Amino acid sequence: MLSDNDHIEGLFPEAAQNWDLNRLYADLQASSGKEIKPFEKACLRGLLCRYRPGQLAFKLTWTSGALRVELNKGLYRSLEAIADQPINTLRWEKVPEWLEAKGYKVQRQSLHNPATNSSDNAGANLADWGEAPNIQTFYGRTEELAKLEQCVVRDRCHLLAICGMGGIGKTALAVKLVENVQSQFDCFIWRSLRGAQPTTQLIADLLQFLNSSQQTGCGISDLLEILRQKRCLVVLDDFEATLQDGELVGVYRQGCEAHAELLQRIGSERHQSSVILIGREQPKEISMHQGEDQPIRYFKVNGLQRQDAFELLRARGFKGTENGLEALVQQYRGNPSALRIVAGTIQELFNGNVSEFLKQTALALGDVLRTLLYQQFERLSKLEKDVLYWLAIKHRPISLSTLRSEMNLQTSGSELINALESLRWRSLIEKVSEQDEVMFLLEPVVLKYVNRQFVDEVSKEITAIAMQQNLKSINLLQSHVLVEDRAPDSIRAMQIRLVLKPIKDKLNKAIAQNNIELEALREILASQHQVQPIEGTSYTEVNLALIGLWW
């Protein structure tokens, strides 16, 4: 469901800095013969700023599926036409490249008054807000802002990383921080790295704005020289986009490898500036050197405090006195994006009755929140995903030694430690202490998503086994137990309800739809296993027995 047009018109204003939007709108309208709708204009601006379709849906408060249908019917076809591309060939990441080739991109204009270059205004503040969002509503975070202001203004930190899971409010917090401290700096620039700009391109972009003397150098040393000469504030949003998918935290994408040297030198060399990184993952260069007595700091953004979360919910039609409201905030750990999504669900489907919503479902994940978690989950290495699956199965805090024992790892103990450390840097797992032992667990929102992913993947495996009548597709069924033998009764009941039952339901559906004889399938699988047993320690037999494919 669309937000009002004023909100939509205000989305992605940064696109106007680099693109001739008026000409684009006119050409698209001429091509399609129809007036471009406000949401299509907003999507176009977002694509030009390299937002993914799932992120556009989040900003528009649409579901991803509904937005994809609408874009395929209209905007995507018109873009192919004006870019002289074959029909049905558009990929969202190609839109900026296609339109730049057609001359729609314009030279970036500085956001400060040209007069500030004159000697009469040599001390004036220069600002380029770049792709920073316009934050119109902001709840709480008073203590967080005070601590961050201290880091930047009083402690004069060289490098500050603001990290947290998707939707937690990192960027909004950073915008408010900059608004509060911008006057303390000679110049300020905000850039989003969601396009994974190579290091050389990023530095050239920064120097173009920061370097008023127009020197020709464009290396890391040239940027450091400017940071020494002036007190600059540089904000780099979406930093995780420069890191490689499918690896532990700290491996950079091709072309971005020199980001490591850039951060290391900004953090260690003498200068008078501050660089703020915003992202879902903590770079190694931060984690290895940060400290309260160091010029490199790390700040993890958590959910809203109780009263601030209540204020957000009141703005969405709640009085603040409803039964179950506190439990709702606790379940979602104060995640502002999650609370906004679920508030709409409660108002529309439960007529504002929070208690009734909590009775119907322990935890609901909206389409938008699933998209945010999907983006983060797909970046993980295989070992990190395996760890998350185990934590979801356990449904309670577990120690490193227990995790290593249950996983039957062939890898070294240090690799598991590295994976856990990487997951903490990604803000995906929590650490607690019980009787002087460190324990790891998932917060409810992440737990719900990971459990669903695990069930979906195992269901695919079990369906393939039934259809192909062999064990060649087995993977998670071999490495992860579905229901623990020695778990407390309450945990076993939860594993049966949340894991085993939906998997068995998927298997029974596949068997019924394809007229598969269950007894014959059991015979075939048993004979195959006798001829070629699965090597190493495996949960295969116990899992297949639980599902009903083994005696």
437-441 and 430-434 beta bridge pairing:
antiparallel
Q: At what angle do helices 367-377 and 64-73 cross, to 10 degrees?
A: 90
* β-bridge partners, 190: 235
- Can you say whether residue 364 is alpha, beta or left, with left for phi > 0 and alpha for psi between -120 and 50 degrees? beta
Do residues 220 and 258 lie in contact, with contact meaning Cβ atoms separated by under 8 Å?
yes
Specify the amino acid at residue 208: Q
Do residues 230 and 189 lie in contact, with contact meaning Cβ atoms separated by under 8 Å?
no
The C-alpha angle 425, 158, 424, rounded to 5 degrees, equals 5
Q: Pull the structure tokens for residue 107.
A: 């030279």
- H helices within 74-169, ranges in order? 75-82, 95-101, 142-149
Q: Pull the structure tokens for residue 547.
A: 């599902």
- Rounded-to-integer distance, Cα 200 and Cα 256, Å: 8
Q: Pull the structure tokens for residue 450.
A: 């990971």
Q: Which pLDDT score, from 0 to 100, does residue 111 have?
A: 40
Do residues 56 and 138 lie in contact, with contact meaning Cβ atoms separated by under 8 Å?
no
Do residues 510 and 466 lie in contact, with contact meaning Cβ atoms separated by under 8 Å?
yes
Q: Pull the structure tokens for residue 222.
A: 């040239």
Q: What is the DSSP string of 197-264?
A: --HHHHHHHHHHHH-TT--S--SHHHHHHHHHHS-EEEEEE-GGGGBPTTS-TTPBPTT-TTHHHHHH
- Rounded-to-integer distance, Cα 334 and Cα 493, Å: 28
* β-bridge partners, 329: none
What's the CA dihedral at 64, 66, 67, 72 to 10 degrees?
Answer: 120
* β-bridge partners, 398: 440
What DSSP state is assigned to residue 333? Answer: T
What contacts 483, CB < 8 A, 6 or more positions away? Answer: 492, 495, 496, 499, 500, 546
The C-alpha angle 528, 533, 539, rounded to 5 degrees, equals 110
Specify the amino acid at residue 14: E
- Rounded-to-integer distance, Cα 77 and Cα 83, Å: 10
What's the CA dihedral at 36, 130, 137, 139 to 10 degrees?
Answer: 140
Q: Which pLDDT score, from 0 to 100, does residue 340 have?
A: 83
Helix, strand, coil percentages in the chain from 3-state DSSP, rounded to 5: 55, 10, 35
Q: Pull the structure tokens for residue 504.
A: 């068995």
Burial 55-84 (b: 16+ CB within 10 A, else e): bbbbbbbbbbeebbebbeebbbebbbebbe
Nearest to 474, CA basis, from 541, 527, 388: 541
* Average pLDDT by stretches of 10, the chain with 551 residues: 57 79 90 88 87 78 80 90 89 86 71 36 64 82 91 92 88 92 91 86 88 70 91 92 80 88 92 93 84 89 89 86 83 83 81 81 59 80 91 90 82 79 85 84 84 91 87 86 89 89 90 85 79 66 85 62
